[in-house]
Structure 1
Amino acid sequence: MDTTALRSAYKKFLDVAAAPDLGEAADGDWNADQVLAHVLSVDAATAAVALGVASGARPTFDNRICLDRWNLDRIIAEHSGRAGLISHVRHQAAVLCDIADQLSEQAAAVLVPSFLMSDDEVVLDQPVALADLVNGLAGNHVPVHTRQLADLRPQASLSDGPE
């Protein structure tokens, strides 16, 4: 698999995550640490599925644990602040991309039973090719959370100057 787009998406995500002025979501949504923990959890789950396929297992992908606030808080507590979370996300993203880079075409085409939720809605409940699961991170998942982090920045810091 070609992970150029995924690596680029992670670079943008991590650049935004490193901003010092990330605040809280106005609508009670996830804060920056919870977003980082979620991405870390999804990356680890996706890497586990990819390794499972490579080993000949028939893994499934279910993102519900990656959305669970208790689990996100547990992941956050395991790190020494945001810098630790960012470092772990950077490392986990590299691991995932390295695994995906080594997948054969046959492994990338394996259908993985997948169950995805977003905002308490089922968005997918069907088998998906492993390549599509990984590429979906680059095309949708990571950019969505990049915007989510960017939205946590104060509006004044996002302007290009006086209007």
Structure 2
Amino acid sequence: MITQSTELRNAAARDAAAIAAIYNHYVLNTSVTFEEEQVNEAQMTERIAEVQQAGFPWLVLLEQGEVLGYAYASPWRLRSAYRFSAESTVYLKADLSGRGYGSQLYMALLARLKELGFRTVMGGITLPNRQSVQLHEKCGFAKVAHFSQVGYKFGQWLDVGYWQKLL
């Protein structure tokens, strides 16, 4: 449950270990990310810096100093005509879904992207993933694409859907 002790701020290098721990749960135990090897603190520090240096937001949600989750945006595509479009990512500690933290993070990320002049946000979801679909749709995204069997993890072919929101 969201409380007054919740803090939302830009991610910093000091958050990298906590962010990596959150993400590595999904890498090792789920197919929501197609990454198959754990990410260490140094690698996560680099990723945070690259996103922020490119002018995109990376936010962390904390409660009493503990990182509960994170959200960031990255380029949708590299060609210059796509410069007003972004791809979004949100991850929470595994035991926190359904408490409103994901919505809080996502809405803050979308607001920041709008302030920065972005027009479109895309969210890719490995399917099936009811919780992520619900989060995206709660935040105003609509499904715009479905790609069959584009990823292979844990011995199975996986589909990916894309949800889009105009800001």
TM range (shorter): under 0.3
Which is higher, the Rg of structure 1 or of structure 2?
A: 1
Structure 1-normalised TM-score? Answer: 0.26
Higher percent of residues as helix: 1
Structure 2-normalised TM-score? Answer: 0.26
Higher percent of residues as strand: 2
